[in-house]
Amino acid sequence: MKILICIFVFFALIFAFHSYASEADGYDKKPKINPSEVIRIDIGNDWQEDSLSYLQYINLEQAYISDSIPPWIVKFPNLRVLACYNVRCIPEYVGEIQLEYLEISNSELQELPEFIIKQRHLYVLTLDNNKFTHIPEGISSLDSLTVLFLNDNSISEIPEFICQMKSLKSLSLSGNNISQIPECIGNLRELEYLSLYNNEIRELPESITDLRRLETLSLSGNPIASLPEGIFSKPNRLESIYIYDTLMAKDTLLEQRIKKLKRKNWEAKSGERDKEREERRRISEEKARRRKERDKIESNKTIKP
């Protein structure tokens, strides 16, 4: 009996040893991270500089920058997206990077440097919660810009040069001191999203009904009492109209008209999606038919006479 127990213990020890060895060997064979595949990194104070020249996205939200964007930013020639907060200025070397998305929020900016205005590939610019008292005029030269956010500043008017930015799809100027919207706002024919909540706007220009692609209009927190009649009579794509904390908020008749408009546009958009799906299906079937015919012709060519 003692011999059997000794044999059992011996084999148990051998099994345990092999299990441990296999586990240790497995640690050595763990898949390694290929740094060349990394395109984004969120940087905090514990980050150390490295030769990550292929990075495309840097988020400095957790870096607690107290003054300026650090100079090592230029070591990333492929950088396309930069988001940073709590900065006092934008140093000139940032202009050396061909950015497509730039966010500088919760900072002390009052003006936009010339070298940012020369960023021809910039399509998203977010400058929320800064010290701007006006919209920088040079912004209108950013031909590729489709998204402009300047929320929670001290802007008092929307200048007419904004109406020249024909590529804009999203414009948000909420939390400012704006009292009027220029008549030329109707020129922004590509605009899909317009947010103006928490301002001093009392009326909308009739030209806003020319924004046929507009899907979202936010007017909450303004002393506005009515909407242009054209919003309900002209064709548009409005699906969301926000009028909380306005003089219209308790107008039940207006609320019903808005709901009816939203329902009509939602149904129209749903119909458009169905048509698009049907068109894609038709194109796919046509391609398959042509491919089948081509294969048949090629097959006949290979048949010997």
pLDDT in tens, 76-120: 777 888 888 888 778 788 888 888 999 989 988 999 888 888 888
Query: Parallel, antiparallel, or unpaired for β 147-149 and 240-242?
Result: unpaired
Residue 194: beta bridge partners?
A: 171, 217
Q: Two tokens at 89?
A: 């200025």
User: pLDDT band at 234, cuts 50/70/90?
Assistant: confident
Spatial distance between the Cα atoms of 263 and 257, rounded to a whole number of angstroms: 10
Spatial distance between the Cα atoms of 291 and 283, rounded to a whole number of angstroms: 12
Q: What is the DSSP string of 18-42?
A: HHHHHHHHHHHTPPPP-GGG--EEE
Spatial distance between the Cα atoms of 76 and 54, rounded to a whole number of angstroms: 6
Spatial distance between the Cα atoms of 140 and 144, rounded to a whole number of angstroms: 10
Residue with tokens 């061909």: 98
pTM: 0.70
Burial 177-202 (b: 16+ CB within 10 A, else e): ebeebbebbbbbeebbbbbbbbbebe
Residue 170: beta bridge partners?
A: 147, 193
Residue 125: beta bridge partners?
A: 102, 148
Q: What confidence tens digit (pLDDT) does each residue in 251-302 have?
A: 888 888 888 888 887 776 655 565 666 667 777 766 777 777 776 666 766 6
- Note the pLDDT of residue 5: 45
Q: Where are the beta strands (DSSP E) in 106-223?
A: 124-126, 147-149, 170-172, 193-195, 216-218
- Note the pLDDT of residue 7: 45
- Note the pLDDT of residue 211: 94
Q: At 266, which amino acid appears?
A: W
More confident residue, 269 or 242: 242
Spatial distance between the Cα atoms of 124 and 40, rounded to a whole number of angstroms: 18
- Note the pLDDT of residue 196: 97
Phi-psi region of 2 (alpha: psi -120 to 50; beta: other; left: phi over 0): alpha
Closest CA to 55 of 97, 110, 27, 114: 97
- Note the pLDDT of residue 305: 55
Q: What confidence tens digit (pLDDT) does each residue in 189-229 have?
A: 999 999 999 999 999 999 999 999 999 999 999 999 999 99
pLDDT at 21 over 90: no
Closest CA to 217 of 148, 128, 227: 227
